[in-house]
Amino acid sequence: MTITILGAGNMGCALATMLAANRHRVQLWSVEADVVQDIERHHRTEKYLPGITLDVRRIRATGDLAAACREADGIVVAVPSHVVAAVARDARPFLAARVPVLCIAKGIDAQTNAPLPFVLAGALGRQRGGICGLAGPAVAAEFVRGTPTAVLVAGSPSAAGFWQRVFARPTFHVQRSSDVVGVSWAAALKNVYAIALGMCDGMQYAMNTKALLVERAIAEMTTVLRRVRARPETVYGLAGIGDLVTTGFSAHGRNRQFGERICAGADCDIPAVLAVTTVEGVACVAVVHAWAQRHGVALPLLETVWRVCHRHADPCRALERYLRTAYQD
């Protein structure tokens, strides 16, 4: 079986190693010519997964989107969230109508508040339930080295079952869910709250304080899932608390790193930080805050992150102010 992965970043390449280990052929597509060249010539990508050798027999790379898609038995979309729809529209002419598609990107559409798997379905002219989303506590640099990991694939039973069979390994467990809305919202929200947890680290607060923020984050995520008519229990699984713990505590988490950096010293030049790194939670918090304002949903911790990221609030003072009122009715 041939699986094409659109996007050869750290997650795309790490998932390629799982597929190759399961004896699938993998075609990685990327717009980054240096990444394609590194994979083709040296069977590695020092830019995204330093020290990892990619299977020379089963993993190839190309910058030709048509060639990458035409012979695919399955498509994994692993590009950044803001280009998911555009890449899907470009790929659509080269995809067979029934090829299974899996969305790795996390996010909520700013215009429609639809989860990215639904956005992807629209761009491809597919039914919503046919496009799956993947979430869970999966740090690419860890599971690529064989660290036991569990992820969640959300979609229709048949579509999710396909991806479960394709990816599952003794150290890479794949659970299924039909709650695409809940999994997608939880996976996106955790990036926002990971910024808050990073801010906590930057201010050198003790674990008591960080645990407080985790509890408040879970409470707000549950509130959101209820309002979007998803299953609130999804928050307590891999896509919610599982992914939040990884993203908010791991040294590899970009959202946590961002929060830590802006609170770690006198220099809190957020635009300068964002100019050199992608922080998905910054865009997501704007979308969710606008949604919450329209629907009258109170999310004090999320609003704190929004004020820091989009209203130039001083990060340290904003977090201190939140902590003084976190449990007021």
Find out whether 121 and 92 touch, Cβ atoms under 8 Å: no
Q: What are phi and psi of 108, to 5 degrees?
A: -125, 135
DSSP run (H or E) holding 4: strand 2-6
Is 190 catalytic? The answer is yes
Catalytic residue among 47, 106, 190, 210: 190
Coil, strand, or helix at residue 312?
coil
Find out whether 192 and 284 touch, Cβ atoms under 8 Å: yes
Q: Supply the Cα-derived Rg of the chain in whole angstroms.
A: 19
Helix, strand, coil percentages, rounded to 5, for the chain? 55, 15, 30
Coil, strand, or helix at residue 62?
strand
Which residues form the catalytic set? 190
